[in-house]
Amino acid sequence: MYMLRHKPIHLFKRVPSSLPFCSFSTSNYLNCQLDSFLSNQNSNLQYLSQSHALIVTSGNSNNIFIAAKLISLYASLSKPIFSTKVFGSVCPKDTFLWNSIIKTHFSNGDYSKALDFFFQMRALGFAPTQFTLPMVVASCAELMLLEHGNNVHGLASKLGLFSGNSAVGSSFVYMYSKCGRMEDAYFMFEETTVRDVVCWTALIIGYVQNYESEKGLECLCEMHRVGGFDERPNFRTLEVGLQACGDLGALVEGRCLHGFVVKSGIGCSEPVKSLLLSMYSRCGAPGESYLSFCEVKDKDLLSWTSVIGVYARSGLMDECLSLFQGMQDSDIFPDEIVVSCMLSGFKNSTTINKGKAFLGSVIRKNYALSQMVHSALLSMYCKFELLTLAEKLFLAMQHQNKESCNTMICGYAKMGLHVKCIELFRKMQHLGIQADSNSLVSVICSCFQLGAIHLGRSLH
């Protein structure tokens, strides 16, 4: 014990875990414990605390390699505070240790803290490496700190960290995309000499998330055409590609991507099946949506909503009713979105009696509780010319929003209640609620019917 307290075991900074820990003899127990710690990839907090205590008592707490291991393991257990304490106890520090503490806070989602340590690192004269920069740039992206990201870009160029490395370039593509600077993101992509799937995917995601889904699909096609081993689309690439097809309603491209998914062998996974269902639903293809729906093993509320929604938008209400019943038979309670889809579908169909029956079911089962369902109900009442019920529901609404007011204006005009139509329009103006084009047409028609030429001209 005296030896352990006063003669520390000196470790080399990069010593393999299988080698002896010192040049002089120590207990086999100590050797085994330290060797076990260094070779361990996963651990619980109790074991890690015991190992930490052993490291301190054996005099190895200032060893950079062991400290980095402690920092990493505490981070994996979501204990970045402990990682920071270990980091602070080591002196002197090297770039390897700085990278470890930056990674700790980055991986735990504390991007501000990660940047703080990076700035400290730079202030003390340490140069970042190709391992440091992707985490720093991604932190700037998550915090939308474009100016800091530009400064880091200049530093990376000055240090020559782009050469022969795709991770650094990919991180800047991601940062500029995240900040809405797609021209800069594309320029960075073009400047990146080594492109892998991460770099391509970052650019494609950027286009899709910045509402340029068409360019995103073009990039995906180009990525597939290039076809290098490191440039084959992965799950994330295909996910955003299917999202782009859904955004554009690009059914043909979606089918092609579906074929590629099947050919690549990842089409059997449940997440991909759900993505295909969503894509076909958004593209307005009820048949293919239903086939994809049948492929989904664990059908959740989102799956049912997707397939019911596409049938409702297509006016296929018999199929909607059957699916709606099947959902309830599967013990999945419909939410406001599903009910609103159903009501909107009936509004656009000619099955008035079935729509009224569904309305009764909605009311009996207390589905009509949210603003979204109220708006859909109001639209249905106006569609079926049930104006008394529509007025009652409209007046009972706590928040008479733009959608509900515009629906009532059209309903009044349709039923020939032109005075009420104009009165509600004036109330909307007073409340600062904007009328849509359908409401303006309804009000102008009401002005014509009532001979209110002055108001009609002002609207014109």
How do the domains of the chain map onto residue ranges? 1-126
Answer left, alpha or beta for residue 67, where phi above 0 means left and psi between -120 and 50 means alpha.
alpha
pLDDT of residue 460: 54
What are the pLDDT digits (tens) for 268-318?
788 899 999 999 999 999 999 999 999 999 999 999 999 999 999 998 999
CATH of domain 1-126: 1.25.40
Q: Is the pLDDT of residue 185 over 90?
A: yes
Distance of CA 335 to the CA centre of its chain: 22
Could you tell me if 65 and 21 are in contact, meaning their C-beta atoms sit under 8 angstroms apart? no
Q: Annotate 137-197 with DSSP letters as a single string.
A: HHHHHHTT-HHHHHHHHHHHHHHTTTTT-HHHHHHHHHHHHHTT-HHHHHHHHHH-SS--H
Higher pLDDT, 43 or 410: 410
What are the pLDDT digits (tens) for 115-153?
999 999 999 999 999 999 999 999 999 999 999 999 999
Lowest-pLDDT choice from 83-92, 353-362, 364-373: 364-373
Nearest 5 degrees, angle CA 131-CA 135-CA 136? 110
Q: At what angle do helices 235-248 and 251-264 cross, to 10 degrees?
A: 160
pLDDT of residue 14: 41
Calpha distance 142→105 (Å, rounded): 13
Residue burial 305-314, b: 16+ Cβ < 10 Å; e: rest? bbbbbbbbbb
Closest CA to 352 of 378, 375, 330, 385: 385
Q: Is the pLDDT of residue 83 over 90?
A: yes
Please report which confidence band the pLDDT of residue 206 belongs to, taking 50, 70 and 90 as the band edges. Answer: very high
For 313-433, where are the E strands, in sequence order? none
Q: Average of pLDDT values for 389-411?
A: 87
pLDDT of residue 29: 67
Q: Is the pLDDT of residue 10 over 70?
A: no
Calpha distance 172→446 (Å, rounded): 57
Higher pLDDT, 21 or 359: 359
Residue burial 225-248, b: 16+ Cβ < 10 Å; e: rest? eeeeeebebeeebbbbbbbbbbbb
Could you tell me if 397 and 404 are in contact, meaning their C-beta atoms sit under 8 angstroms apart? yes
Range with the largest mean pLDDT of 53-62, 69-78, 206-215, 224-233: 206-215
What are the pLDDT digits (tens) for 413-446?
988 898 998 889 989 888 888 888 888 888 888 8
Calpha distance 272→296 (Å, rounded): 9
Could you tell me if 327 and 334 are in contact, meaning their C-beta atoms sit under 8 angstroms apart? yes
Chain position carrying tokens 């995906």: 220
Distance of CA 39 to the CA centre of its chain: 36
Q: Annotate 183-202 with DSSP letters as a single string.
A: HHHHHHHHH-SS--HHHHHH
What are the pLDDT digits (tens) for 250-267?
999 999 999 999 888 877
Please report which confidence band the pLDDT of residue 8 belongs to, taking 50, 70 and 90 as the band edges. Answer: very low
Q: Whats the size of the chain, residue-wise?
A: 460
Calpha distance 20→246 (Å, rounded): 59
Closest CA to 233 of 209, 198, 259, 268: 198
Residue 234 has which token pair?
């992965």
pTM above 0.75, yes or no: yes
Side chain identity at 264, as an amino acid letter? S
Side chain identity at 436, as an amino acid letter? D
DSSP letter at 239?
H
Distance of CA 235 to the CA centre of its chain: 14
Calpha distance 159→140 (Å, rounded): 19
Chain position carrying tokens 């299988």: 18
Please report which confidence band the pLDDT of residue 229 belongs to, taking 50, 70 and 90 as the band edges. Answer: confident
Calpha distance 124→230 (Å, rounded): 37
Answer left, alpha or beta for residue 433, where phi above 0 means left and psi between -120 and 50 means alpha.
beta
Closest CA to 368 of 388, 396, 348, 347: 396
pLDDT of residue 145: 97
Percent helix, percent strand, percent coil in the chain, to nearest 5: 70, 0, 30
Q: Annotate 270-337 with DSSP letters as a single string.
A: HHHHHHHHHHHHHTT-HHHHHHHHHH-SS--HHHHHHHHHHHHHTT-HHHHHHHHHHHHHTT----HH
Calpha distance 203→192 (Å, rounded): 12
